[in-house]
Structure 1
Amino acid sequence: MAGVADPPRPTEPRRELRTEFAFELPRGYVDDAGVVHQAGTMRLATARDELVPLRDDRVRENAAYLTVVLLARVVTRIGDVTDVHAGVIENLFAADLAFLQDLYRRVNSEGHTRAGVQCPQCGHGFAVDVSGGRLGES
């Protein structure tokens, strides 16, 4: 019928979009002064974050460098280091680079930082948060 409005829908609680994720590097970034930085934050990637590195000459010369440029765009802090650039990412230990790659995939593809694991002793399966929060923190 013309002029009849749809009945009001019940309001659902709004879900907040989480755009930044804290993490704890397994080894840590060692700065020029020898200070180890482990705690950091990564933000969700935008389409621009994934497109801009494709125009980078370093990526054109070596496709593997895409990871470095992309992580430098989305990692906002590692310890006291807030100017995270390709040089910082290049100097991470391999274990830390792999950790950040996995975290990037989880938060941008799956939308969370949980991973399913299994107890090696009893075989019980459960989920853990791989972002590095301390025990008892949410």
Structure 2
Amino acid sequence: MNRASWLALVVAVGTISACASRTEVVDVPLGATPQNAEHIARATLSPVGTQTSIWLTVGGVPHDMAVSSRLDTAIYAGSCQQLGAQPAYETRQANSVDYPSLAPRTQHWAQAPVALSELTRGGYALLVRTSPADGSRALFCGNISAG
């Protein structure tokens, strides 16, 4: 390998490493509520400028939902054991990206109007619930933390 190629390789690796270290992704395990017992879900939060992207992988919802491809998410101050009275941050829709899907596992996407760095300071929980058409029932909850 000549000197120019070696230098190009070092610069490329350094650039990729610098980008990778700036990209923070937070994994939030979501616990099922009694209304959705025996189902599992997980959220992956990532920064999008001053907002936070939320990818949900949902392993099941109640079978009596009218719109099973539509879930609502909200971020509350506090923890799943003691949520604030009102959401601290409402998110934009958590529409299924698998729709229409009969698969037992679906993925949903939402976006919160708050920086991920603010959420990972602690004191916030992500609540996933059914749409208003299905009674806004709480399905999953997970505490947000940096690690």
Whether TM-score is above 0.5 comes out as no
> Which has a greater percent of strand?
2
Q: TM-score, normalised by structure 2?
A: 0.29
Q: Which has the larger radius of gyration?
A: 1
More relative contact order, 1 or 2 (CA 8 Å, 6+ apart): 2
